[in-house]
Structure 1
Amino acid sequence: MKKNCSIVLLGLLFPCVVFAQGEASYWLFSNCAGIQFNNDAGFASVKSKITTRLCNLGFLLAVLLAGSLASAQVCPNPVLTSPLDGATNIAVDSDISWNLVPNVPGYKISLGTTPGGTDILDERFVGSATTYNPPLGLPENTLIYVTITLFDFQNGNLEIPCSSESFTTAPIIQIPACTQLTIPSDGQTDVNPATNLSWNYVPGAIGYRLTIGSSPGGNDLLPTTDLGNTLTFNQAAEFPPNSTVYVNIIAYNLIGDAISCSEFSFDTSAIAALPGCTALISPLNGANNVPVTPILEWTPVPGAAGYRITVGNSPFTAEVLDNVAFPPVTQTGILELEANRTFFITIVPFNAAGDAIGCQQESFTTIQGCGPFFDPMTGDLISLNPEINFPDTIATCENEFPIMVSSTDTADGYRWYSINSSGIETLISNTADVSLSSAGEYRYEAYNLIPQSGNLDCPSSQVFNVVSSEAPVISSINVTEQATGIRIIVNTTGGGDYEYAIDNINGPYQGSNLFTNIPYGTHTLYVRDINGCGIAEEQIVQDLTLEGFPKFFSPNGDGINDYWQYIPPEFAGDITLVSIEIYNRYGQLLLQIDPNSRGWDGTINGSSLPAADYWFRARSSTNNEMTGHFSLTR
C-alpha cells in the first residue's frame, strides 16, 4: 500500500508518502521522544495533517499495530536551479540542474508534458548527481514538467516522488548542423566487424537518416533508413571483415535536413576473439582507508587492446570515470576522490572482437576522517574542514544589546557557543546567525558534513570576544601655557576606548589625550568612542591678556586678533591709560599708540614688521607705569 499524506513542521506543510503492507492501524514516530500519531491505514487516503516540532527532516517511521511495516518520508522538494521553474525560451540542448537534498543517496529524473509525466523520459537514475544532460536533447516549443524522485538504494530502493516543476523550450527555427561519427571514428582502422555505430547529438535535430555502403555513396549494406531520434545503430549482421565501410548520417528536423554533410568511413579487421576479464590488484576489492588520490592497478589480460574503466560513488553511476577507454596499460592515477566514501569500479578489457563479457564490479572505501590528506599526484594537502573568516573581537555599544552576529562562510552547518569564566561551553545556536545579549567570550564553529558517514562532520572554529563601550564624558581639561603655545590634557570617564581631536569634530583624531604647541586662544576639544558609541566636546576659553595687554596678535587680515591694543580687564577699576609705547627687542622705540584707538596693525609707515617679540610701556593717568612683552605672529 502507498498513501499520500502531509506533515506540518513549525507551521510549514511538507508532502510525504506512507508505504505500508496490509490495512491496519499504525502510529508514527520520529527520533524525537514522546511524539506519536494515530491514523487508520484503512482510510482511502491519509487526509489528516501530522503536526510535530522540527527535530529531524530525515525518516519518520510508521509501525503497523497489526505487525506490518510502513514508513513515511518528509519530502523537501529539490528545486530546479537551471532552468528555473517557469522559465521560457529554453534551448533544446540545455542541462537540467537542481539543488542538493541533504542525506539523499540518489535521484531519479522524469520528464513529461504533464505534471508527473514520463512521456519524454521515464525515471532515469542519475546517482547522487544534481545535473542531467538529456542525451537526445529536449522537444522544441514544449512545456516540460520535471519530476525528481528521491531514491535510496541503501534502504531497499526506497523511492520518494516529489512535486513537479516546469519550463518551456524555445522553437527551432533553422535546420540542424551535421553530426559526427564517434564509434568508430572517421578513418579508424582495424575496427571490429561487430562494432555498433554511434554519433554525436545535434541540437535541434529530431531524427537521423543512416545510409551504409561498401563504396563511396553506396547503400548496399543499409539503404537510407530513418532511425528517428537515436544516436546509435545496432546492425543486424556484422560488417564485412577486411573492408572499407562508408557511412552517411543526416540529421533532420521539421525545417529540413542538414546539408553538405561529409561521408564517414572506417576499415574493418579480421575476426578476433573476445578478451577475458581482469581484477584489481591495488586497491584490492573491498579495501578500506584507500588514499583519496589512489593509483589503480589491475592484472594484464592477453589479447586486450585496452581497458574501459567506470568508477562511481554508487553501483549505478559513473561520476569519476564513465566507461573511459585506456590503452593497454595496467594502472592509472585518479585525482581527488571524496574521503569517507565507497567507490564502485568496473574494468572491461576490449579488442577488435569487442568487450569482455561478464566482468564483475569491485569496490573500495577511501580514507576516513577530515584530513588533511596528502595528494601524491600534486603534493597538496586536502582538508574537508571549511575555510572560515571571522574576527576575534566584536565591539558594540552598551545600549545596543542584543546584537545579531552572522556567518559569511560557506559550510554545511554552523554552531555558536557561549564560554563561561570556567571555560565551559554552552550551545546557543545551530544556524548561520546568533543573537548575543551580553559581552563575553564565545566560540563560532562552521562544519562540513561527510557524505555517507552518519553524523560525522569536519569543523573549523574561532573563539571571539564581544566587548561593549560607553559614550565618553570629559571630566576635566588641564591647560599649561608655554613659550611655544599651550599644552592641553583631556581627562575622561567611561568604559570605552577613546580618541581625541581639537577644533574639528571630523578630526584628525589621535589616540593620546595630550596636545602640545597649540596656539593661544579659544579651542574646542572632542573625544569620541572608537566603536561609534558617542562623542563628547568641551570648549576652553583662555585669558590671553596680562592685566589687559594681549600676549600675542596676528595681523593677517582674517579679522581675528588683527590689532594689538589694551583691553581693560573686568576688574580694572578707575585705571585710565594715557599712552602706550611699543619697542623692538633692542629697545628701539617703534611707535606710540592711543589707548582709545583700535590698536597697532603690525606695520610702521605702511611696511609690515616681522613676526617677533615686542615690548610695551604704558602710562596711566596717575603716572603709574606698566611694562611687558607680546608676540607678533604671522
Structure 2
Amino acid sequence: MLNRILILWALLASHSFWAQDCPNPVYPANGATNVPLDATIDWESVDGVPSYNITMGTTPGGDDILSTQFASGSSYVPPLGLPANTTIYVTITLFFFDQPNITCPSYSFTTEPISTVPECTEITNPLNNAVDINPNTNISWSYVYAATGYNLSLGTTPGGTELLNNFDVGNTLTYNPITDLPPETPIYASIVPYNPLGTAMGCTYQQFTTRAESEIPDCTNIIYPLNGETNVPLSPVLEWHAVPDATGYIVTIGTTPTGTDILDGSTFYSNSTPVVNFESNKTFFITIVPFNDAGAAEGCTQTSFTTLLGCGPFLDFDTGEYVIVNPEIDFPATISSCDNNGPLIINSTDIAEGYRWFRIDQFENESLISDTSDVTITENGRYRYEAYNTINQNGNTIECPSSQVFEVVSSEMATIENIMAETLVSSLRITVVASGNGDYEYAIDDIDGPYLDSNVFNNVAPGSHIFYVRDKNGCGIAQQKFAQDLTVEGFPKFFTPNGDNINDYWQFIQPTETQKIVFKSIRIFDRYGTFIKQISQYSLGWDGNLAGRSLPAGDYWFMAIDDSDREFKGHFSLKR
C-alpha cells in the first residue's frame, strides 16, 4: 500500500513541480555586467512559497562562492560581498515544509573589476571602549566594499602588536584568537582591509577591557531525539549531554530552520525538559546553547526531528521528500437533484481504499448511510462524504481520511413567464423572464448554445427568434418562440414617447429575412392626411412632436419610398 501511495505522491509532486513558477531575477538582472560588489540579490516573490534557498558559484548550480543558505524573504545580502570581475551563477530553490523543494534554473551576472583600495572598517565586537569582556571573545568587524582580506593586530598599548602582529585572517569577518586574551587588561585592536591594489590607509585602533579569566562552556550533543529521527512522540522528553561547566542551557525550537515559534531562547537549568503537545507530522528544528557566567557557547549546531508520521505529510529522511497518505478528493459543496426524477444516486470517482457517506441532521449529528463508493439520497439536506486510505504504523493500522461536507438541493426545469422587447435604433434588447426552482442560463436561436448567465440579450435583430432557458443542473431546457410585432416591411405598429427609453421613437427597423432596404424618404401624416414630419431611416425616428408640441395619442399614417421608387404605406398608433 505504501508503495502505491508513494507512486501517487510522486505523480502529485510532479504535477506540483510543473504548476509552480520559478521567480524571475529582479537585481542583478540575468546577464547584467559591472554589478557592484556589495549588490543585494533580489528576485520576485512567488505566492505559496514559504522560504527560499540561494546558492552561488562560478558554474551553473555551483556553490564555490556561496553554499546553500536560507534567504530572508526574496532577497539575500552576501555578508562578504561578491568576488570582483567574476561571472556568478545564482540558483534559487523554492523551500517547502510539506512537499519536495523545487530547484530553479540558474541565471548569471558579472561583477565589476576592483578599481580602488578598500576603506577602513569598524570593529563590531567588542564595541569600542567596552568593559568586562570575556578573554575568550571573538573579534568581529564590518564588511568593507572591495576588500578581499583583512589584517588584524592586537596589543595591550595603543598601536601595540605584541598579542597579534598584522595577522592575515583572510576574507572573513570574525576571528577567535588561538589563546585567550590577558584578563583584566586594556586591549587595543586594529583591522586593516586589503585587496590586490593595496591596503586601506590611516586605519586606527579600537579599545576594550577584558574581565577576570573564565571559560565559556562547550556546546552539547542531543541524546533524544537524535538528529533526523522520525516517529517522535507528541509529548517527548528532550534530553542532551550535560556540560560540566555550564550553568544552564538556552533552547530554541521552531518549525523552520530559522523559526522560534515553539521555544524562543527559553532557559533550562537541567539537561532535559518535557515538551507537551508537539504537532503531529511536522519537522522541528532545535538548537541548545550552554552558558555560564563567562558567556554562552559559540557555534552550536542545529538538529531536527519529525513527530509521529500519522497520515502525513511526513518527511522521508532517506529521500528528503514528503509523503502524503490521505487521498486526494474532488467533490462539490452543492449537488442538485431534479424534481420528480426519483432518488439521487452519487458515485465517487476518487481513488481511495474506502468510502463513507453520512447524513447530518439539524443537531449536527451524523448517521452512516453508505460505506461504498456510491450512495442513494432520497431527500434534500446536509451530508458528508469521506474517502480514506490506511497505513501501518508501529503495528497499528491508521485510517487517513479526506472529507467534504455538501448540501443536496432541488432543481427543476424553468418556466418562461414573459419575453420583453425594447426597441432601439436598429435592433432590439430582449429580456427573458423565467421562474422555477433552479439555477438557469440562457441562449438564443440554438438549443446547444452558447448559454449565458444573463437573461438580457442586446443587439438582437428584428424578426422571429427562439429563446432557451437551461437548468445548469441538467433538469431540462425550456423554450419559447418570439416574433416582433411589425407592420409592412419593418415599420412598428405603435410607439410610446413617454420618456422611459422604451419605444420612445417610431422608426423603420431593417428586417433580417429580406434584402437590405434603403429608403429615400419616410413621411408621416395624421389621420386626416396632413403632412407632419419627414424622417431619415438613419435617425432616431419621430418623437411624437410637431414644432415642439406633443401631438395627441391616436392613429397616424406613413408613406416611405425606397431607392427603387417603390412606395410603402401603412398606419401605426401613438400611445401616451
Higher relative contact order (CA 8 A, sep 6+): 2
TM-score (norm 1): 0.42
TM-score normalized with structure 2 length: 0.45
Answer with 1 or 2: which has the greater Rg: 1
